Amino acid sequence: MTSLNLEALFQSKIDEETKIEPKDWMPDAYRKTLIRQISQHAHSEIVGMLPEGNWITRAPSLRRKLILLAKVQDEAGHGLYLYSAAETLGANRDDLVQQLLSGKAKYSSIFNYPTLNWADIGAIGWLVDGAAIMNQVMLTRTSYGPYARAMVRICKEESFHQRQGYEIMIAMAKGSPEQKAMAQDAINRWWWPSLMMFGPKDAESSHSDQALKWKIKRKTNDELRQQFVDVTVPQAEYLGLTVPDPDLRWNEEKGSYDFGEIDWEEFWSVVKGNGPCNKQRLQARNKAYEDGAWVREAASAHAAKKEQRKLEPQLATKAA
Amino acid sequence: MKNYLLQLADNALILGHRLGEWCGHAPEMELDIALTNIALDLTGQARSLYQRVAELEGIGPDGTSKTEDDYAYLRDAWEFRNTLLVEQPNGDFAHTIVRQFIFDTYNYYMCRALTQSKDEWLAGFAVKSLKEITYQLRFSSEWMQRLGDGTEVSHAKMQAAIEELWTYSGELTTPNEMEKEMASKGIGVDLTNIKREVDIKMTEILAASNLTAPADTWMQTGGKDGKHSEHMGFILAEMQFLQRAYPGQEW
Amino acid sequence: MKNEWPLWEIFIRSKSGLSHKHVGSLHATDAEMALENARDLYTRRNEGVSLWVVESKHITASDPNDSDPLFEPAKDKIYRHPTFYNVPDEVTHM
């Protein structure tokens, strides 16, 4: 079959909603796009452990501590599900991790913002995970089978993340004046970065069209962003907190909220590495990787020795 | 009784706290998950124990009853009864594994013996926890061997960790007055009984790991009676910060 | 230095009576570690009662290019299915 025919066949499978599986023929660009997107997503989960992990030792109750441990652990799990999906495309996890550590690969910019008070843990669960879920629910229907299956698993687990975050926000917003101030401070800092999580405007998004055609993505950045604002604003109102956007108002005609312009300069600046914590996050991941090298090597060496010892008696018997 | 439970709880809480510090920084992502699982098990055990203590304590003279968090967040260092071993810093991964292995070996035989406690609640708690602790001992024993009998570098790091932490191993199986009393009532464990089993297991795994325990080590004690190392104050400063800074709030 | 642990495929029996089902992969140096990592990664929420781990390199998969010769021939053998046969309505238990 010519590559043109293959490509037509591939697109027809996509159009009729047949999932693409690892060994199926796929255009190189589809494979590359997926590896890039899935690994970025995996990196985001792993880097995402850091801002929240920052508060594990300071969680204010045993219940909260258990929840936070379990949540950050889930993020490591989600990272691994995703690396596993990327590996079905022929990528190698260590190569992907190297790209993260060298700064070559991107991850979600949201994790380059600091967690400064306990309500940030609530805000991350509520806003950041809420925004992530919008994207992830869409991805459970993505065209590549292993990615879609990983996302189904992740979405199932993720739903507790958002609820626990909102529960923290309720406790804080209904608590003492200091707690309420912490909650407002958190939404002030996390609102706009959460909206930025959906990426550039459709008009400026370089990968969007092809990704939609291949059904890797199924909604545009702006559609998802609007959906997020529409469901989240009433949740903020319930908490009695102010969304830090003077232009935010209900638009009766279109049945959704109008909201202000994102500070795109800030967006691109953080993407380019100048967010408040870009350096610290990468340093932390590099340190864990370097400090852990001897452990990984030792485990490999020990496994090789064990294998050798299994063989030795057999060899000895043969020799005798 | 309450102090006996608090001692069990404090060991679990503080070791779980230390393991939680690894989350996001472990040598491999699979290990982030594994260490966090152990932290979750231990913190969960601590919670059950504190809840039981609160229940035993009942309603105080001021008409209120205590909660699990009162014990974790509102006591000062001298009121904590955990052993010195569990409050030692994570150090490198070798220190963490050696600390875990020493504790797990003790904790396994301790918990197994506790399933025979005359106190019904405690025996039930031990039956449930033993499943978790059995897995923990398996995990740390395997990693002792992987790292002790891995590369030259890993062997040297493990041996160094043992030399440093061994001094805290004796306290686990050395009973204080309270433990002797609880053992005599058949509620607590007679540590002299489990010491032999603990020693045999330690020797077996150390040999399999190509590691040696230092001879004639002076054994530090005191944690069980509230005399801690300097690390303890810092652990509490961090752990208790919110509860201390904003007293009496719901979180 | 590159020192990656081998890749393992993980299969879980979600409850007694069902067969093991593929759930994904992970990295481990040996089978014991693979089992433990699988337990921690894939059964955190009570998803299983039994695990299989197989090093990925030991799995042989059929080639999608062979799909036609492998699977098409079975499609027209309708006589393998019970609906192929006519049995009078008054005959029951069949």
Contact C38, C8 (CB under 8 A): yes
CATH topology of domain C1-58: Ubiquitin-like (UB roll) (3.10.20)
Q: Chain A to chain C, count of Cβ pairs less than 8 Å apart?
A: 50
* Cβ <8 Å between B28 and C5: yes
Which residue stretches of B81-224 are H helix?
84-87, 93-114, 120-148, 152-165, 177-184, 191-208
Residue of C nearest to B150 (CA): C29
- For residue A240, give every residue at least 6 positions away whose Cβ sits within 8 Å of its Cβ, in sequence order, or none: A173, A180
* Cβ <8 Å between C24 and A85: yes
C-alpha distances in angstroms, A165 versus A87, A130, B20, B136, C64?
32, 9, 19, 30, 45
SS3 B130: helix
Domains of chain B, earliest start first:
2-245 (1.20.1260.10)
Residue of A nearest to C56 (CA): A88
Q: For chain A, what is the mean pLDDT?
A: 94
Residue of B nearest to C41 (CA): B33
pLDDT at A3 over 80: no
Asked if this assembly's ipTM is beyond 0.90, the reply is yes
Residue of B nearest to A165 (CA): B251
Interior angle at CA B48, CA A121 and CA C44, nearest 5: 60
* Cβ <8 Å between A302 and B250: no
Helix (H) or strand (E) holding C63: none
List CB contacts (< 8 A) between B28 and chain C: 5, 27
Q: Write the pLDDT tens digit of every residue in B141-158.
A: 999 999 999 999 999 999
Q: How far apart are CA A54 and CA A32, in angstroms?
A: 34
Does residue B34 sit at the C interface (CB-CB below 8 Å)? yes
pLDDT at A36 over 50: yes
Distance from CA of A24 to the nearest CA of C (A): 6
Q: Write the pLDDT tens digit of every residue in A176-213.
A: 999 999 999 999 999 999 999 999 998 887 777 888 88
Give the pLDDT mean for C31-57. Answer: 95
pLDDT at C3 over 90: no
List CB contacts (< 8 A) between C28 and chain B: 30
Give the pLDDT mean for A67-87. Answer: 97
Look up residue B1 and give its DSSP letter. Answer: -
Band of pLDDT at residue B70, cut at 50, 70 and 90: very high
**Residue C1's pLDDT is what?**
43
**Residue A310's pLDDT is what?**
87
Q: How far apart are CA A137 and CA A120, in angstroms?
A: 24
Contact B236, B71 (CB under 8 A): no
Give the pLDDT mean for A258-266. Answer: 97
Helix (H) or strand (E) holding A79: helix A62-87
Distance from CA of C83 to the nearest CA of A (A): 27
List CB contacts (< 8 A) between B72 and chain A: 62
Distance from CA of B241 to the nearest CA of A (A): 7
Task: Report pTM.
Answer: 0.94
pLDDT at C2 over 60: no
* Cβ <8 Å between B146 and A298: yes
- For residue A236, give every residue at least 6 positions away whose Cβ sits within 8 Å of its Cβ, in sequence order, or none: A187, A242, A243
Q: Write the pLDDT tens digit of every residue in B182-231.
A: 999 999 999 999 999 999 999 999 999 999 999 989 999 999 999 999 99
pLDDT at A319 over 70: no
- In sequence order, the β-bridge partners of residue C50 are C13
* Cβ <8 Å between C33 and A299: yes
**Residue C66's pLDDT is what?**
84
Q: How far apart are CA C56 and CA C6, in angstroms?
A: 8
**Residue A158's pLDDT is what?**
87
* Cβ <8 Å between A297 and B153: yes
- For residue A239, give every residue at least 6 positions away whose Cβ sits within 8 Å of its Cβ, in sequence order, or none: A169, A170, A173, A183
* Cβ <8 Å between C41 and B139: no
Q: How many helices (H) and strands (E) does chain C have?
A: 2, 3
Sole residue written with tokens 């968090």: B69
Q: Write the pLDDT tens digit of every residue in B161-177.
A: 999 999 999 999 999 99
Shortest CB distance from A300 goes to which of C5, C7, C61? C5
Residue B64 Rama label (left phi>0; alpha psi -120 to 50; beta): beta
The torsion angles phi and psi of C22, rounded to 5 degrees, stand at: -65, 135
List CB contacts (< 8 A) between C45 and chain A: 157
Shortest CB distance from B29 goes to which of A65, A80, A294? A80
- For residue B184, give every residue at least 6 positions away whose Cβ sits within 8 Å of its Cβ, in sequence order, or none: none
Q: Chain A to chain B, count of Cβ pairs less than 8 Å apart?
A: 139
- For residue A179, give every residue at least 6 positions away whose Cβ sits within 8 Å of its Cβ, in sequence order, or none: A119, A171, A172, A173, B246, B249
